[in-house]
Structure formats: structure tokens, C-alpha cells
Structure 1
Amino acid sequence: MSFQIIEHAEGKIIEVAITGKLSAEAYGAFLPTIESKINEFGKVRMLVVLHDFHGWDAGALWEDIKFDWKHHSHIERLALVGESQWEKGMAMFCKPFTSAAIQYFDASQIEEARTWVAQ
């Protein structure tokens, strides 16, 4: 499992690239960056790029649910970029847990995703 956070010049846009299976430890490592941006800007926009993604372990899923509950209204837009149908389904699954506009993009559409999240 690996992840990378890419900060954009616009400040409130956070791009997170995730490969493999997300663990609670990894989730905990990038969560402070996201919460810092929320504290700074009030609302943020996220672009999550999933490559060879295998989901969450139980601990990471629990951390994700707690984050979604706490920050329900702090994310304005969420773009998910992935490689498979089940990742596309994740975009629909996320909708009840956030007030963010959510859109799924295929991996070949990453530039469109970046444009959409910045609008």
C-alpha cells in the first residue's frame, strides 16, 4: 500500500493518490493534512486517484466512516479517479455520507477530473 498527497496552488484542493489496500495507519498518516486544510479554508475539494486499489482494511474503513461523519459538510467536491466498475460504484456509495458533489472519472480522464474539482 502506498499513498501520496499532492497539494495544489489553489490551496483548498487536495489530491490523494492511493495504490493497494488502504490501512488504518496510512489513513491516519494523511488525515492530519486534510484536517489542516479544512481548518485553514473551511471547505476543501478532493481528488482521489485510485491505482490498483484493493479497498480498505477494517481499521481504515472505520476511520473513513468517522471522518465522513465529522466532515460531512467540509468537502465541496470529491472526484474519484479509478480503473474499475466497483470504484465507480464507490462514488454512488459515498453520496449519503457527504454533502459534496461527487463524480467518478476513469483513469484516462484524470485531467478532466482535475478541471472538474477546480471549477
Structure 2
Amino acid sequence: MTANLRHGLSLGIERTGQQFYVTLKAVGKLTHDDYSKMTPMLDAALGAVSSPSVNMLIDAAELDGWELRAAWDDFKLGLKHGNHFEKVAIVGNKRWQDLVAKLGSWFIAGEARAFTNMTDALAWLADSEARG
């Protein structure tokens, strides 16, 4: 029955001025197959960005977790692209998202933070743009 539950990753790229935002929405329990389909899209999107300053907005409000192999895929993705990100905002309401943000900070060049609402996350991401 679990095989029929909705899960996966949606990826988007947005731009405000010179600031790029990678948007990622995670739903359900992520699988290795989810990452194998999403990773080439993220690779292509980040490969086309000439500026090293990219912010990421992760909507994890509907995320239930990862299969073990998918967690490894996520780790490898962070190692591969971590230097592209100035800020990573993780939006959700689960306690483990704070831990993920803290761990994520080890693998990105910039900063990662967890938020309970989208408005605060977007304000934090836009803050560097207002100063820059």
C-alpha cells in the first residue's frame, strides 16, 4: 500500500535581479528513484548559473523522510553542489528540520536555516539581496 502514496521532488528556478533561487518541494518519503530523476535537472540548472551565489528554498512541510539510499543520494548531492549555495531555507514544521539545517550547514558554502513558515524563509533569503 505504501507504494501508492504520493511522494517525490519538484524543482524550480526563479530569479530576482541577479539572485537565483532554486526551489525544491519535497513530498512524502523520498526514494532513490526520486533523486535519480531530479539530480540531472538540478545539475543542468546549476551548471547554467554563472554566479556562485544561489539561494535554495526547500518546502519540506509535506516531507515524511527518506529511504536510506535516498538519504545517501541527498548527502552526495549536498557534497556536489554545496559550494553553489549562499543560503538554504528549509520550511516545515517538524523538529528534525532544525537538525537537517544544522547538518546542511556543514556541506554548503553558505548558511542553512529552518523556518516554520514561508514568509519568514523568503524574507531571510531576500535579506542578502537587499544588502548586495
User: What's the TM-score once normalised by structure 2's chain length?
Assistant: 0.77
Deviation at 1:58, TM superposition (A): 1.6
Deviation at 1:115, TM superposition (A): 2.7
Is 1:39 paired with 2:47?
yes
The number of residues matched between the two structures is 117
Distance across 1 between alignment mates of 2:112 and 2:36: 23
User: CA offsets per residue over residues 3-48 of structure 1, 9 Å max, x none?
Assistant: 3223323372111111111111111222222222221114321100
RMSD: 1.8
AA in 2 matched with 1:15: T
8 Å CA contact 1:46–1:77 kept in 2: the answer is: yes
Equivalent residue for 1:8, pick from 14, 24, 32 = 14
User: CA offsets per residue over residues 51-90 of structure 1, 9 Å max, x none?
Assistant: 2322111221111121122223111110000111111221
Equivalent residue for 2:87, pick from 74, 77, 80 = 77
Distance across 2 between alignment mates of 1:72 and 1:9: 19
User: What's the TM-score once normalised by structure 1's chain length?
Assistant: 0.84
Computing the radius of gyration over CA atoms, which structure comes out larger, 1 or 2?
A: 2
Larger RCO (CA within 8 A; separation ≥ 6): 1
Structure 2: gaps of 5 or more residues: 1-6
Equivalent residue for 1:110, pick from 115, 118, 125 = 118
Q: Which residue of 1 aligns with 2:75?
A: 65
Structure 1: gaps of 5 or more residues: none
Runs of 4+ in 1 over 3 A off after TM superposition: none
Identical amino acids, percent of aligned pairs: 24
